[in-house]
């Protein structure tokens, strides 16, 4: 992902490369909170007992940049901050989570965010500005927002679920599995909405989806 900003003649453009990995005992982590602008984020399920976080790539910026990863009170915090401007970035974060039921998975960013595997979390919160959101997570409640990207949800429910998905200029695709009954509320101004329910299980779903200029599909 590349993000362009205007620089003045007096600003010094710096470059920094990352190839950093942190490892924590998975049993000590209940909540994951990620705040990484200018970074693509990919979340994976792992058969290991360790939680692994790896940041790779480079960034061009002015000012100062700070990257921190730490574990406090069973909360795993991953964040990056710069007090200047960013001209370009190809940063990528890969996080590998042991199989367990997490209380919270929260990801805030400005690029693509993908939960590639069946990660279990009670609450899922994802917000990005320029990228898409893709999730295969199993959750009870999800709040998913993107300014300029698509939102794709594929869930096989293991409880009653709630989904709130919104985007300005992207499409929303929600696939519900193991759901017998759904209350679906969709809103779009310049797009179209279509939803069907395949009664495949014993749980219920409450779905709210909105897009200004995109299409919405729920099945």
**Domains in the chain, ordered, with CATH?**
1-117 (2.160.20.120)
Confidence of residue 70 (pLDDT cuts 50, 70, 90): very high
Instruction: Report the distance separating Cα 114 and Cα 170, nearest Å.
Output: 16
Residue 129 in this model has a pLDDT that exceeds 70: yes
168 Cβ contact partners less than 8 Å away, ≥ 6 residues apart: 146, 147, 148, 211, 212, 213
Residue 7 in this model has a pLDDT that exceeds 80: no
Q: What percent of the chain has pLDDT over 70?
A: 95
Confidence of residue 6 (pLDDT cuts 50, 70, 90): low
Q: How much is the pLDDT for 201?
A: 82
Confidence of residue 16 (pLDDT cuts 50, 70, 90): very high
Q: How much is the pLDDT for 8?
A: 56
Mean pLDDT, the chain, whole residue set: 93
Residue 130 in this model has a pLDDT that exceeds 80: yes
Instruction: Report the distance separating Cα 193 and Cα 214, nearest Å.
Output: 9
Instruction: Report the distance separating Cα 120 and Cα 105, nearest Å.
Output: 9
Q: How much is the pLDDT for 1?
A: 42
Q: pTM here?
A: 0.93
Mean pLDDT of the region 146-174? 96
């Amino acid at each position: 992902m590349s993000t362009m900003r205007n620089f003045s003649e007096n600003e010094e453009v710096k470059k920094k490369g990352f190839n950093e990995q942190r490892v924590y005992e998975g049993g000590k982590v209940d909540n994951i909170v990620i705040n990484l602008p200018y970074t693509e984020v990919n979340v994976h399920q792992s058969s290991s007992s360790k939680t692994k976080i790896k940041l790779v790539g480079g960034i061009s910026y002015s000012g100062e940049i700070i990257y921190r990863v730490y574990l406090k009170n069973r909360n795993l915090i991953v964040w990056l901050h710069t007090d200047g401007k960013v001209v370009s970035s190809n940063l990528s974060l890969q996080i590998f989570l042991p199989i367990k039921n997490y209380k919270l998975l929260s990801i805030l960013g400005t690029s693509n965010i993908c939960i590639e595997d069946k990660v279990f979390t009670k609450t899922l919160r994802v917000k990005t500005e320029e990228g898409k959101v893709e999730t295969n997570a199993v959750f009870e409640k999800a709040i998913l927002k993107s300014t300029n990207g698509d939102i794709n949800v594929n869930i096989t429910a293991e409880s009653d679920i709630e989904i709130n998905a919104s985007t300005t200029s992207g499409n929303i695709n929600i696939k519900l599995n193991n759901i017998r009954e759904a209350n679906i509320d969709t809103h779009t101004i310049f797009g179209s909405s279509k939803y069907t329910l395949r009664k495949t299980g014993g749980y219920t779903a409450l779905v709210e989806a909105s897009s200004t200029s995109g299409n919405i599909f729920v099945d």
